């Protein structure tokens, strides 16, 4: 047989097959069906409740008119509108503290050293306890006759017990205790994603430890810090049990989640409660948007590590 | 611009005195003593795990010594922190700052030294020009190819005009063609700037072509220090010979000694060789011959060293020359590099002069072992 006589395998043209190839090229094929359970899950447990809540919040209560009447009521009543400020006043300092305090720990722990697992476990355990247990523990620990005050009085640092419960500090400390492990774990994964040779290179170029951190590590960590802050903030902003147990839930710690709960389950005003929940979501979105905008003005580009 | 290239800050010599580094029980580097003259290009050569990168990191100050000392002229520097040594370093993975442009990367070291910004601008532009990256200066490292990134890394190190540049396998992540190009560029840069350079590599060709002097390391110990020519023609032991391209390393026994001339028995084949260490009759040794020193000779030829008939088994075409595996009667194979036109199955006679046939003490370097070769019958019988 001569060489040029070798036939090209003669498959008849199949328009259906060609169409399938074109779709597969765009990432559309039968494996997409695997997404179905996730789609059902998201629609049933997030999209539907959200839209239902939104429509509830836009439904005026008895004797009211206008679709924004619930929102108008919220912003007109200072006892309710002040919850935004009261919650921000707790959530932002606590989140800032958790995020920033995690950086030195995570930076120090980015390499390998003996006992790393033990230290990580110790720092992370509070996350597993849940907020109610943490709040109860803190109530005992920080109370007037709690260990902390008794110890401080014993060593004569203070004469009268510090008031650390049923006020701002109780809730703040509870937010730190439950929020820090979360922020730390996230930041640790970001710091270990930064190539350690970058710092070695910086040191051969004459950068001191502080300069290496400020000029190399911190900029590369910036996107991670922004993400961590955003996630930790959302958690802190929805503070509920610790405000109820460690704060003054009718006064200075009348946080927005408590306000929504009151309306829903004390006054059975679901429409008003839904409007408060929507305001809560909007505030969270605004803060996250501000953080992302801020990070963009500081640093643009790839991170070299994960989380680009 | 007043001057295109300012020479590096000078020092007379850099002396490593019994430098060693242990990790727990393991000695990564043992007793390295070496004096580096200003302007010299030193290559540290050895297989992975031989301690060459450890030596480089000790020099850079990134790894504290456990033994010995390092002296820059009469100043002891082994306790000095890396940022104060002022040595430039080029890393294997480039280690460019991903969030800074090429220009910013190159300027980094100068900024750390609080150089005036006008001077920074001028020197950065000069360094970028030196590595031909003018068009990429505003890009981020992630947008560059491997070779371009490597050039940024080199520019970043040399812009400081460091007294010493340390290079850790800088070409190992590049493809073969680019590796050759960059090799020439590094040599050119070294000559143009009179940079004192310590270069780590596992590629003997790279080391031979770049370095003024080579340091061959094995398991943390220095095997030989010398010029490329010295190492190439007179390797100190079988390990160095292996690295220097003595591909024919054959396990043998000394059967007669006459000064530096010895007669060895290579699995039944008697060969005259040059002794590279003290031997007495009955000692185990390794005979080394380079493929280009094994000549294909006519049927009546004689030799004062090695002469043997064999069968051509494998032929690799390499341009002007061919490299061929030749099976000897004692079942060993040898590699021959020749311009003769060989083809598998040919019976030929190969010979090497006694002066080019070197007998080394047996240091457990991997040698050729006699085998049956892969004959069609052997394959059919299922033998390896």
**Does residue A191 belong to any structural domain of this protein?**
yes
Indicate whether B251 and B229 sit together in one domain: no
B-chain residue closest to A298, CA distance = B99
Of A198, A211, A302, the CB nearest to B112: A211
Query: Closest Cα of chain B to A284: distance in Å?
Result: 29
Query: Closest Cα of chain A to B384: distance in Å?
Result: 37
Q: Grade residue A123 by pLDDT with cuts at 50, 70 and 90.
A: confident
pLDDT at A297 over 80: no
Please indicate, yes or no, whether the overall pTM of this predicted structure exceeds 0.95: no
**Does residue B258 belong to any structural domain of this protein?**
yes
B140 with A301: Cβ contact below 8 A = yes
State the DSSP code for A216.
I
Give the mean model confidence (pLDDT) for residues B251-276.
92
B112 with A197: Cβ contact below 8 A = no
Mean residue pLDDT of chain A comes to: 87
Rounded CA gap, B309 and B23, in Å? 51
A303 with B99: Cβ contact below 8 A = yes
pLDDT at B76 over 80: yes
What is residue B256's predicted lDDT score, i.e. its pLDDT? 93
B 82-121 residues inside an 8 A Cβ radius of A = 82-89, 91, 93, 95-99, 108-109, 112-113
Three-state SS at B265:
strand
- Token pair for B232: 């190439």
Q: Across chain A, where does the E strand assignment appear?
A: none
A219 with B95: Cβ contact below 8 A = no
Q: How many CB atoms lie within 10 A of CB B165?
A: 25
- The CATH number assigned to the domain holding A196 equals 1.10.3720.10
Say how many domains are in chain B.
2
pLDDT digits (tens, 9 = 90+) for B48-68: 889 999 999 999 999 999 999
Give which of B60, B81, B92, B99 to mutate to test A binding, by max A Cβ within 10 Å: B99
Q: Does A299 touch chain B (CB under 8 A)?
A: yes
Instruction: Name the packing angle between helices A218-237 and A78-108 (round to 10°).
Output: 140
B-chain residue closest to A199, CA distance = B95
pLDDT at A291 over 90: yes
**Does residue B57 belong to any structural domain of this protein?**
yes
**Does residue B383 belong to any structural domain of this protein?**
no
Which residues from A are below 8 Å from B157, CB to CB?
A: 204
Q: Which residue has the tokens 């950065």?
A: B124
Indicate whether B48 and B193 sit together in one domain: yes
Q: Grade residue B24 by pLDDT with cuts at 50, 70 and 90.
A: confident
Q: Does A205 touch chain B (CB under 8 A)?
A: yes
Q: Grade residue B3 by pLDDT with cuts at 50, 70 and 90.
A: very low
Q: Grade residue A62 by pLDDT with cuts at 50, 70 and 90.
A: confident
Rounded CA gap, A291 and A165, in Å? 31
Give which of B97, B106, B124 to mutate to test A binding, by max A Cβ within 10 Å: B97
- Nearest CA among B61, B243, B244 for reference residue B166: B61
State the DSSP code for A213.
I
A204 with B83: Cβ contact below 8 A = yes
Query: Closest Cα of chain A to B68: distance in Å?
Result: 21
Query: Closest Cα of chain A to B113: distance in Å?
Result: 7
pLDDT at A285 over 70: yes
Which residues from A are below 8 Å from B104, CB to CB?
A: none
- Token pair for A48: 């539907």
Q: What is the DSSP secondary-structure string of A42-72? A: HIIIIIHHHHHHHHHHTS--TT--STTHHHH
pLDDT digits (tens, 9 = 90+) for A148-183: 999 999 998 888 888 989 999 999 999 999 899 999
For chain A, give the percent of residues with pLDDT over 70.
92
Rounded CA gap, A106 and A183, in Å? 10
A-chain residue closest to B140, CA distance = A301
Q: Which residue has the tokens 């049927």?
A: B299
Q: Grade residue B164 by pLDDT with cuts at 50, 70 and 90.
A: very high
Q: Does A219 touch chain B (CB under 8 A)?
A: yes
Containing structural domain, residue A69 = 49-298
Which residues from B are below 8 Å from A299, CB to CB?
A: 99
Rounded CA gap, B266 and B250, in Å? 7
Rounded CA gap, B78 and B51, in Å? 18
Indicate whether B143 and B57 sit together in one domain: yes
Which residues from A are below 8 Å from B86, CB to CB?
A: 206
Cα A216 versus chain centre, distance: 25
pLDDT digits (tens, 9 = 90+) for A3-36: 455 555 555 566 777 888 888 888 888 888 999 9
B-chain residue closest to A203, CA distance = B83
Q: Does B142 touch chain A (CB under 8 A)?
A: yes
Which residues from A are below 8 Å from B62, CB to CB?
A: 200, 203-204
Strand order of the sheet with strand B197-201? B88-90, B165-168, B197-201, B41-45, B213-218, B221-226
Q: Does A303 touch chain B (CB under 8 A)?
A: yes
What is residue B371's predicted lDDT score, i.e. its pLDDT? 67
Q: Quick check: A292 and A230 in contact, CB under 8 A?
A: yes
Three-state SS at B189:
helix
- The CATH number assigned to the domain holding B226 equals 3.40.50.300
Q: Grade residue B25 by pLDDT with cuts at 50, 70 and 90.
A: confident
| Rounded (5°) CA angle B80-B84-B88 | 110
What is residue B33's predicted lDDT score, i.e. its pLDDT? 94
B112 with A205: Cβ contact below 8 A = yes
Indicate whether B185 and B254 sit together in one domain: no
Which residues from A are below 8 Å from B113, CB to CB?
A: 206
Of B81, B95, B142, the CB nearest to A201: B95
Q: Quick check: B46 and B216 in contact, CB under 8 A?
A: yes
Query: Closest Cα of chain A to B169: distance in Å?
Result: 14
Cα dihedral A231, A233, A238, A244 sign: positive
Which residues from B are below 8 Å from A197, CB to CB?
A: 91, 93, 95
Give the mean model confidence (pLDDT) for residues A57-67.
86
Which residues from B are below 8 Å from A225, CB to CB?
A: none
pLDDT at B4 over 60: no
What is residue A17's predicted lDDT score, i.e. its pLDDT? 76
- Nearest CA among A236, A212, A232, A222 for reference residue A103: A222
pLDDT at A1 over 70: no
Q: Does A216 touch chain B (CB under 8 A)?
A: yes
What is residue A57's predicted lDDT score, i.e. its pLDDT? 93
B156 with A200: Cβ contact below 8 A = no
What is residue A160's predicted lDDT score, i.e. its pLDDT? 87
pLDDT digits (tens, 9 = 90+) for A203-257: 999 999 999 999 999 889 988 999 999 999 999 999 998 899 999 988 899 999 9
pLDDT at B43 over 90: yes
- Nearest CA among B62, B87, B100 for reference residue A196: B62
B140 with A302: Cβ contact below 8 A = yes
- Token pair for B238: 């079988």
Indicate whether B189 and B143 sit together in one domain: yes
Query: Closest Cα of chain A to B297: distance in Å?
Result: 43
Three-state SS at A39:
helix
**Does residue A36 belong to any structural domain of this protein?**
no
pLDDT at A308 over 60: no
Indicate whether B39 and B182 sit together in one domain: yes
Q: Quick check: B285 and B362 in contact, CB under 8 A?
A: yes
What is residue B364's predicted lDDT score, i.e. its pLDDT? 83
pLDDT at B285 over 70: yes
Chains A, B: CB contacts under 8 A, how many? Answer: 74
Q: Does B170 touch chain A (CB under 8 A)?
A: no
pLDDT digits (tens, 9 = 90+) for B336-381: 999 988 989 999 999 999 999 999 998 888 888 776 555 544 444 4
What is residue B173's predicted lDDT score, i.e. its pLDDT? 83
Q: Does A210 touch chain B (CB under 8 A)?
A: no
A205 with B87: Cβ contact below 8 A = no
Indicate whether B257 and B134 sit together in one domain: no
Indicate whether B331 and B216 sit together in one domain: no
Indicate whether B271 and B137 sit together in one domain: no
B189, B208, B233 - which closes a domain = B233
Rounded CA gap, B367 and A262, in Å? 85
Rounded CA gap, B114 and B110, in Å? 6
Indicate whether B50 and B133 sit together in one domain: yes
Q: How many CB atoms lie within 10 A of CB A141?
A: 15
Containing structural domain, residue B262 = 247-363
Q: Grade residue B7 by pLDDT with cuts at 50, 70 and 90.
A: very low
**Does residue A198 belong to any structural domain of this protein?**
yes
Query: Closest Cα of chain B to A204: distance in Å?
Result: 5
- Token pair for A42: 């998201």
Residues pairing with B352 in the sheet: B306
**Does residue A199 belong to any structural domain of this protein?**
yes
Of B98, B112, B160, the CB nearest to A301: B98
What is residue B226's predicted lDDT score, i.e. its pLDDT? 95
Indicate whether B228 and B276 sit together in one domain: no
Say how many domains are in chain A.
1
B83 with A205: Cβ contact below 8 A = yes
What is residue B381's predicted lDDT score, i.e. its pLDDT? 47
B93 with A197: Cβ contact below 8 A = yes
- What's the helix, strand, coil split of chain B in %, to 5? 25, 35, 40
Indicate whether B229 and B274 sit together in one domain: no
Q: Grade residue A300 by pLDDT with cuts at 50, 70 and 90.
A: low
- Burial label, A74 (beta-carbon count in 10 A; 0-12, 13-18, 19+): buried
Q: Does A218 touch chain B (CB under 8 A)?
A: no
pLDDT at A63 over 70: yes
Q: Does B140 touch chain A (CB under 8 A)?
A: yes
Rounded CA gap, A39 and A187, in Å? 30
């Amino acid at each position: 047989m001569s060489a040029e006589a070798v036939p090209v395998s003669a498959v008849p043209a199949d328009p259906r097959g060609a169409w399938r190839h074109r779709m597969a090229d765009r990432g559309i094929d039968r494996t997409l069906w695997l997404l179905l359970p996730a789609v059902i899950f998201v629609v049933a447990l997030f999209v539907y409740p959200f839209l239902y809540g939104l429509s509830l919040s836009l439904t005026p209560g008895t004797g009211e008119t206008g679709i924004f009447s619930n929102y108008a009521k919220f912003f007109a009543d200072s006892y309710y509108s002040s919850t935004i400020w009261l919650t921000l006043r707790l959530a932002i300092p606590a989140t800032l503290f958790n995020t920033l305090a995690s950086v030195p720990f995570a930076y120090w722990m980015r390499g390998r050293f003996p006992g790393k697992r033990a230290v990580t476990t110790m720092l992370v355990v509070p996350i597993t306890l849940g907020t109610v247990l943490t709040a109860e523990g803190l109530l005992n620990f920080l109370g007037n006759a709690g260990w902390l005050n008794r110890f401080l009085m014993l060593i004569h640092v203070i004469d009268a017990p510090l008031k650390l419960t049923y006020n701002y500090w109780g809730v703040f400390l509870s937010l730190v205790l439950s929020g820090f492990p979360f922020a730390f774990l996230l930041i640790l994964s970001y710091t270990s994603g930064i190539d350690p040779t970058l710092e070695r290179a910086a040191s051969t170029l004459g950068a001191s430890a502080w300069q290496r951190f400020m000029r190399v590590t911190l900029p590369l960590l910036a996107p991670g810090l922004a993400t961590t802050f955003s996630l930790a903030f959302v958690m802190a902003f929805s503070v509920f049990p610790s405000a109820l147990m460690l704060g003054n839930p009718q006064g200075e710690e009348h946080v927005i989640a408590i306000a929504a709960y009151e309306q829903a389950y004390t006054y059975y005003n679901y429409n008003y409660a839904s409007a408060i929940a929507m305001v809560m979501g909007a505030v969270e979105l605004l803060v996250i948007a501000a953080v992302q905008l801020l990070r963009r003005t500081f640093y643009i580009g790839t991170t070299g590590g994960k989380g680009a | 611009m007043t001057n295109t290239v300012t020479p590096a800050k000078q020092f007379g010599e850099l002396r490593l005195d019994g430098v060693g580094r242990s990790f727990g029980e393991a000695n990564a580097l043992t007793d390295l003593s070496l004096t580096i003259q200003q302007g010299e290009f030193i290559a540290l050569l050895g297989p992975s795990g031989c301690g060459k990168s450890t030596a480089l990191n000790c020099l850079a100050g990134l790894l504290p010594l456990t033994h010995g000392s390092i002296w820059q002229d009469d100043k002891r520097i082994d306790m000095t922190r890396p940022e104060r040594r002022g040595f430039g370093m080029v890393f294997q993975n480039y280690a460019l700052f991903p969030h800074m442009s090429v220009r910013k990367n190159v300027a980094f070291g100068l900024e750390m030294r609080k150089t005036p910004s006008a001077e920074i601008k001028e020197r950065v532009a000069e360094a970028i020009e030196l590595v031909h990256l003018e068009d990429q200066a505003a890009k981020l490292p992630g947008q560059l190819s491997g070779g371009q990134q490597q050039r940024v890394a080199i520019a970043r190190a040399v812009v400081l005009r460091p007294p010493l540049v340390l290079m850790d396998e800088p070409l190992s992540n590049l493809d073969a063609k680019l590796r050759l190009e960059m090799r020439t560029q590094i040599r050119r840069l070294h000559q143009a700037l009179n940079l004192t350079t310590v270069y780590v590599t596992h590629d003997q060709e790279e080391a031979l072509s770049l370095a003024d002097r080579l340091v061959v390391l094995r398991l943390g110990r220095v095997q030989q220090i010398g010029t490329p020519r010295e190492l190439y023609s007179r390797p100190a032991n079988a390990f160095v010979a292996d690295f220097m391209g003595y591909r024919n390393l054959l396990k043998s026994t000394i059967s007669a000694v006459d000064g530096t001339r010895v007669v060895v028995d290579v699995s039944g084949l008697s060969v005259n060789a040059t002794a590279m260490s003290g031997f007495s009759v009955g000692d185990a040794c390794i005979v080394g011959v380079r493929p280009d020193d094994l000549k294909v000779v006519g049927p009546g030829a004689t030799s004062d060293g090695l002469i043997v008939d064999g069968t051509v088994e494998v032929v690799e075409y390499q341009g002007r020359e061919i490299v061929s595996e030749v099976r000897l009667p004692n079942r060993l194979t040898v590699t021959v590099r020749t311009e003769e036109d060989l083809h598998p199955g040919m019976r030929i006679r190969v010979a090497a002069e006694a002066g080019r046939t070197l007998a080394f003490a047996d240091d457990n370097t991997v040698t050729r072992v006699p085998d049956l070769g892969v004959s069609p019958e052997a394959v059919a019988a299922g033998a390896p």
